[in-house]
Structure 1
Amino acid sequence: MTARTSSLTVSALMLALALLLGACSNSESPSGQASSSPAQTGSESGSGESPSSSPSSGPSEEAAPEAAFPRTIHAANGDVTIEKQPQRVAVVHWGYNDSILPFDLNSVALALPFTEKQSVLRTDAYKPYVDRLDELAIVGENTAVNLEALLAYAPDVIIAGNAINKDIVDSLTKIATTVVLDEEKTDVWGDWPSVVTEFGRILGQEETAAGFIADFRANVETAKEKLASIEGSVAFVQIRAKEAWLQGTNYLPTYYEGMGLKAPESSEMEEGAQLSLEGLSQLDPDYLFLGQFNVSDPSLPALSDEWTQSGVWSTLKAVQNDRVYNIDGQLALGYGPLGHSYGVQAILAALSP
């Protein structure tokens, strides 16, 4: 990726930065935590998107014609007019990263839920989207937005969320035109198509948004047909350093409802719950997917390494029948379209007869 020289001169940049930071000191603190999401207790992120449901219309009342500008977006921070089609787009809600990359853009700035080293930016699932960018700027890590880096990036438009970014909205609007999405109406945690649809309106790329969503749903349906002969229960467990979380059916409708997979019988299967090895042995699924969160950074520990040393582990049906599959938990058990696309393909590859 090539770096693009900012249109600001050094002196102008420093002056602008001094004025901005002087006016909004301490506004850079994180407004959301990567270790907890609104969608599920004990999980970093939610993913209640259902492939059979139509995407939400989002905050805009009616989409303007493709690429017609100026256009007005009805957002959580009022009516926002975008004068020209955005070319440099900054996304400061760490949950929206998956949803911006499918669009036809040359320059994107992102705030990350973790460090860049631990992020999924270099994974095979992200590679086709990242490689086609001329510029990818990081303007925040561990959910904290770096206003200085954002100002230096000089975005045409900033996209934010009214909950995650509530403490810095005033600061953002001083940097560039800012569209703040209502996170209840455009719910990335449970309905990423609503976010992708709204991004299409903001960017003047409605057809790109609709095409991506349609392709995703078609792929899920194809996967369901190919796995129709699978018998037995399938469980997804998020693995962290010292904790594990059973992912509920309400949290993973794309895989259970969309792909037709059968969940183990348990009172905790709908919402999911923190899980011990003993709890997993009681669940005893026929197929077990371990969503590892150290794939991008293998130096991080994983609780499953301890599990495999236990005699209880060897009693599991999935272990005895060689039906345990490690997948990237940040992607497959996340909440965005690229992560879900990876998950569908990873599950299909593992379970295909």
Structure 2
Amino acid sequence: MMMKKSYMPLLTACVMVAFLLLTACSSSSKSSSESSSSPSATPTASASTAKASFPRTIASGDGKQVTIAKKPEKVALVHWGLTEDFLSFEVPSIAVALPFTEKQSQMGSELYKPYTSKYKDITIVGENTEVNLEKLLQYAPDLIIAGTETNKKVADQLSKIAPTVFLDETKMDVWNDWPGVMTKFGEMLGQEDLAKQAIEKFTTAFAQAKDQLKGVEGTVAYAQVREKNMWLQGTKYAGHYYEPLGLKPPEQANGEGAELSLEGLTKINPDYIFLGYFNYTDKSLPALADEWEKTDVWKSLKAVKANHVYKMDGSIAYGFGPISRLYGVNAIVSALKK
């Protein structure tokens, strides 16, 4: 009995320690399980892209297989029309070619700021189809992204500067298929998850816009307003502002559209007119619509009589890529939503 009495405290202590250890392990396991299943613990795009595997081999539009040895830290996009598609991705440093001069571009605008502010530096290496090879060489990119048609003249020189992946513009409509372009960018950069998230963000915004525009009846015309010309934006280049939003184009807008005269506009006589001014931010520059608005012919239009004429920045709204198109969609919804 004396022996039982002396060992009981020790036995009890051992049981208690084992119990506590078991409880701690169970609690830890449960906590870990709960953490991994909670929304806040879902891996972010940054976390998933950080684990992207390199080297990786990409099928280039020029028929070659391009090996990207490591995760690119400096990327040059020399296709002037695809900058917006590229700005959703996470790269420390980028170089881009712009449609116009840097002063005329949107790179420093408030519209682009949420996208451009994350980059350590942005270098301009060209305007439109002209690539400044000297500046590009000085920039020393890890990867160059180009178009088979847009950058055809300098294709051989690009490949000598850095690994170059071409988008095949004979097979891909890079001007309108921005989801396809962004998917390809994600593949090159090892940021497939980020591409999916960005595409979902923009497509959701478009879908919500369509829902807000239910009940809009009649035809909608989008015009590009220049100093001495006005152009009806056709479904080929502005189709995203028609059917995807549930809006009806005038018959004359099917296809590429056409240059407008005031008399021609009266024949179309749309129910709604959006004037996309290219002097929107600088009113000191002339615009043809300013002259038309003074005439009785203009005042006889259905849209004018119903006060259904709206102004927006055409240099953005008629641009290429999701950022510009989202601007245009927001402007349209703001004007037309019931």
**Structure-2-length-normalised TM-score:** 0.80
Report what 2:259 is aligned to: 274
Unaligned 5+ segments in structure 2 are: 1-48
Contact in 2 for aligned 1:86/1:157 (Cα 8 Å): yes
Equivalent positions of 1:142-157 (< 5 A) are: 142-157=128-143
Aligned to 2:239: 253
Secondary structure at the counterpart of residue 289 of structure 1: strand
How many Å separate the matches in 2 of 1:329 and 1:195?
Answer: 23
| Residue 204 of structure 1, aligned match among 190, 203, 209 | 190
Does residue 75 in structure 1 map to residue 75 in structure 2?
no
For 1:72, what is the secondary structure of its paired residue?
Answer: strand
User: Would you say the 8 A contact 2:262–2:297 is kept in 1?
Assistant: yes
Residue 268 of structure 1, CA deviation:
4.6
Report if aligned partners of 1:118, 1:297 keep a CA contact under 8 Å in 2. no
Which of 154, 160, 164 in structure 2 is aligned with 1:168? 154
Deviation at 1:299, TM superposition (A): 5.2
Q: Once the 2 structures are TM-superposed, how far is the Cα of residue 314 of structure 1 from its aligned partner?
A: 1.5
- Separation in structure 2 between the aligned mates of residue 140 and residue 248 of structure 1, nearest angstrom: 29
Residue in structure 2 matched with residue 86 of structure 1 by the alignment: 72
1:119 and 2:93 matched: no
Partner residue, 2:288: 303
Structure 1 residues 296 and 144, CA, compared in 2 at 3 Å: closer, same or farther? farther
- Residues 342 and 267 of structure 1, relative CA distance in 2, 3 Å threshold: closer
Aligned partners of 1:140, 1:251: CA distance in 2, in Å? Answer: 24
Shift of 1:227: 0.9
Residue equivalent to 1:286: 271
Task: Report the alpha carbon displacement of residue 103 of structure 1 after superposing the two structures with TM.
Answer: 0.9
Comparing 295-304 and 206-215, the one that deviates more: 295-304
Q: Which residue is 2:206 aligned to?
A: 220
Pick from 273, 282, 301 the counterpart of residue 316 of structure 1. 301
Deviation (angstroms), 1:320? 2.2
Are 2:231 and 2:258, in contact at CA under 8 Å, matched by a contact in 1? Answer: yes
On the 8 A contact 1:188/1:336 being kept in 2, the answer is no
Partner of 2:42: none
Q: Check if 1:348 corresponds to 2:333.
A: yes
Residue 317 of structure 2 is matched in structure 1 by 332
Query: 1:242: which partner in 2?
Result: 228
Compute the RMSD of aligned alpha carbons.
Answer: 2.0
Residue type at the aligned position of 1:160: A
State how far apart, in whole Å, the 2-side matches of 1:200 and 1:189 are.
Answer: 17
Greater displacement, 181-190 / 281-290:
181-190
For the 8 Å contact 1:227–1:352, the answer to whether it is kept is yes
Q: Deviations over 1:3-45 (max 9, x none)?
A: xxxxxxxxxxxxxxxxxxxxxxxxxxxxxxxxxxxxxxxxxxx
Cα–Cα, structure 1 residues 347 and 66, in superposed 2: closer, same or farther, change >3 Å?
Answer: farther
The structural deviation recorded for 1:129 is: 0.7
Counterpart AA for 1:104: E
For residues 256 and 239 of structure 1, the distance between their equivalents in structure 2, rounded to whole angstroms, comes to 19
Check 1:287–1:267 CA distance in 2 against 1; reply closer, same or farther (3 A cut).
Answer: closer
Residue number in structure 2 paired with 1:193: 179
* Cα distance per residue 1:159-209 (max 9 Å; x no partner): 110101001011112221111111123321231111111001011111111
1:111 aligned counterpart, secondary structure: strand
Q: Name the SS for the 1:246 alignment partner.
A: strand
**Highest RCO, 1 vs 2 (Cα 8 Å, sep ≥ 6):** 1
Deviation at 1:298, TM superposition (A): 5.0
| Deviation of the 1:85 alpha carbon | 0.9
The 2-side partners of 1:91 and 1:203 are apart by 12
What is the TM-score with the length of structure 1 in the denominator? 0.77
- Asked which structure has the greater CA Rg, the reply is 2
Provide the secondary structure at the position in 2 that maps to 1:95: coil
- The code of the aligned residue for 2:322 comes to P
Q: Tell me whether 274-283 or 121-130 shows the greater mean CA deviation.
A: 121-130
**What displacement does 1:147 show?**
1.1
Q: CA offset at residue 109 of structure 1?
A: 0.9
Distance in 1 (CA, whole Å) between partners of 2:184 and 2:335 is 34
Deviation at 1:267, TM superposition (A): 4.3
How many equivalent residue pairs? 289
In the aligned structure 1, how far is the partner of 2:69 from the partner of 2:260?
51
Deviation at 1:270? 3.6
